[in-house]
Structure 1
Amino acid sequence: MSVLIVERQDTLKNLILNRPERGNALNAELVDALSEEIEISGRDGTRTLVLRGAGKVFSTGFDLKEIESLSDSEVAHRVLNIERMLQAVFHAPMVTVALVRSMAFGAGADLVCCCHRRIATEDSRFCMPGLNFGILLGTRRLTQRVGVDNALGVLTDTRVFKAHEALEMGYLTAISAEESWPDHIEAAKQSGDAIAKEHVSSMFEVVIPDTRQEDMADLQASVSEPGLVDRILEYRDRMRAKSGKKSSQSQ
């Protein structure tokens, strides 16, 4: 079974993250598949690219399942590959749409942030916890979307924020029930088809600051700090303990 489902309809392409048993977590295989398909989309006539998740959620972010068996350098390599994929989405020469069901956490939330149109169901939640383990992923992109004050609040508090707050700060562009998603897709497709591709590319180059080198340098420095795996595992264990405590309190 492919970790990424690709559906093509004329100039519209759907990319469906297909690891529902793992919350569509971004493992190496899925990141590579996304990177490859985004590169292909830049030259195969795709004018509108839609990203969504199979199953109940959009994406839970970086896949922590194998992390205990990886070295710091191996994890750093995977994080840097995620950043390359995110940069490709952010600077893609086409209209990009993220459709979020329920939740997008970590690198999954960063993937949403990279898209031009960011649409979620009303019950959706988001979190960018990278600073908990010292990873600077997508900081400038988030700031471009939501402004300095909101970005600082989201990143330093590393808290969960809900759909209406996300819309108010500019992280989301719309809140929509799933039955209305086809309308949003059609509107995006009309926009994508209306302007010549080279003009779209030129517009994006002017409107979207190109900070790819700076972003990669900052991320490289942050993942090069010793103890990366330990910091991530400590965060994971804290979240598990917190989740267990909430469950016991609700019983």
Structure 2
Amino acid sequence: MELETLKVGIADHIAVVTISRPPVNAQNNMMRADIQTVFDALGDRADVRSIILTGEGKAFSAGADLAERPSQEPGHYTAHNRRVRASFDCILECPKPVIAAVNGAAIGAGCVTALCCDILVASDNAFLSMTEVMVGLAGGVAHVRRHFGESDARLMILTGRRIYGPELLRMNAVSACTSPEELMATALSIAQDIAKASPSAVIAAKKSFAMTENLSIYEGYRFEQSQTKALASSEDTAEAMAAFREKRKPVFRG
């Protein structure tokens, strides 16, 4: 992949994607295209089972590059919104679990990018912030609501405050808050645990989270049972069951 704004490394079934657009990793159209290229490719690669997304330098991503705001000409804003949505959707829809290692400022679109990931960990000096109301814009409510309680979500959106790692942990918006030095090791430990599991079962589990988010518990569990039935005849499940019986570690293909 030829990329201008991201760096990608793959080892031991784990991909590390680093946002790299100095000085603050602001998101422009090139980055949005790179994000789609990378996550579409990683989602299809058999040698990737989990993904870590982080930022280079002191910022995760300081949001949209305001130098590329769309004009008021007919169609420009509509096309811009489509590009922005696609850069978020490709993370949400990636079949492989994505761990956000939030290393610094995650503001506006950068905050939403982190919230599109499956699991969030943050360093204690990192923060999430939705500053749209401060600059006369709106957006991000739906994504913020997925990770925050209602009062905290409204606090975040309506005040534009910076919410740092320790507070994010208290609010149950992240799974871990670490020192900056321990952040990647923490994310890597989670990614390694995911990579040890049955790849097809992990993909099915992520699909279940996506499909059941807005379903009743009755409909949601019925969908999950259909996933389990489909997995029952898979090579991964056969290997996992054999390894359990033989008291050894499973060896999954890919």
Q: TM-score range by the shorter chain?
A: 0.7 to 0.9
Following the alignment from structure 1 to structure 2, what is the Cα–Cα distance between the partners of residues 2 and 162?
29
- Contact 1:106 1:129 (8 Å CA) reproduced: yes
- Partner in structure 1 of residue 175 of structure 2: 173
Moved over 4 A (4+): 209-212
Following the alignment from structure 2 to structure 1, what is the Cα–Cα distance between the partners of residues 16 and 190?
12
Following the alignment from structure 1 to structure 2, what is the Cα–Cα distance between the partners of residues 103 and 33?
20
Q: Give the direction of change, closer, same or farther, for the CA distance of 1:80–1:171 in structure 2 (3 Å limit).
A: farther
Per-residue Cα deviation, 1:189-223 (whole angstroms, up to 9, x for no partner): 222223223222221222235789xxxxxxxxxxx
Offset at residue 64 of structure 1 (A):
0.5
Offset at residue 29 of structure 1 (A):
0.2
- Partner in structure 2 of residue 247 of structure 1: none
**Match of 2:53, SS?**
strand
Higher relative contact order (CA 8 A, sep 6+): 1
Larger radius of gyration: 2
Give the one of 94, 97, 101 matched to 1:95: 97
Following the alignment from structure 2 to structure 1, what is the Cα–Cα distance between the partners of residues 181 and 155?
32
Q: In the alignment, does 2:139 pair up with 1:136?
A: yes
- Partner in structure 2 of residue 34 of structure 1: 35
- Partner in structure 1 of residue 51 of structure 2: 49
Per-residue Cα deviation, 1:9-62 (whole angstroms, up to 9, x for no partner): 1311111111112x1001000110011110001111211111111122111111
When normalised by structure 2's length, the TM-score is 0.74
Note the residue ranges of structure 2 that are not aligned, 5 or more in a row: 215-254
Aligned AA for 1:135?
Answer: A
- Partner in structure 2 of residue 194 of structure 1: 196
Q: Give the direction of change, closer, same or farther, for the CA distance of 1:87–1:180 in structure 2 (3 Å limit).
A: same
RMSD, aligned α-carbons? 2.3
**Match of 2:67, SS?**
coil
Q: Give the direction of change, closer, same or farther, for the CA distance of 1:164–1:185 in structure 2 (3 Å limit).
A: closer
Offset at residue 134 of structure 1 (A):
4.0
Q: Show the 5 A alignment for 1:1-251.
A: 2-21=4-23, 23-45=24-46, 46-67=48-69, 70-71=71-72, 73-132=75-134, 133-137=136-140, 139-209=141-211
Aligned AA for 1:19?
Answer: R
**Match of 1:109, SS?**
helix
- Contact 2:120 2:175 (8 Å CA) reproduced: yes
Per-residue Cα deviation, 1:79-125 (whole angstroms, up to 9, x for no partner): 33222221221232222111222211001011111112212221122
Note the residue ranges of structure 1 that are not aligned, 5 or more in a row: 213-251
Q: Give the direction of change, closer, same or farther, for the CA distance of 1:145–1:109 in structure 2 (3 Å limit).
A: same
When normalised by structure 1's length, the TM-score is 0.74
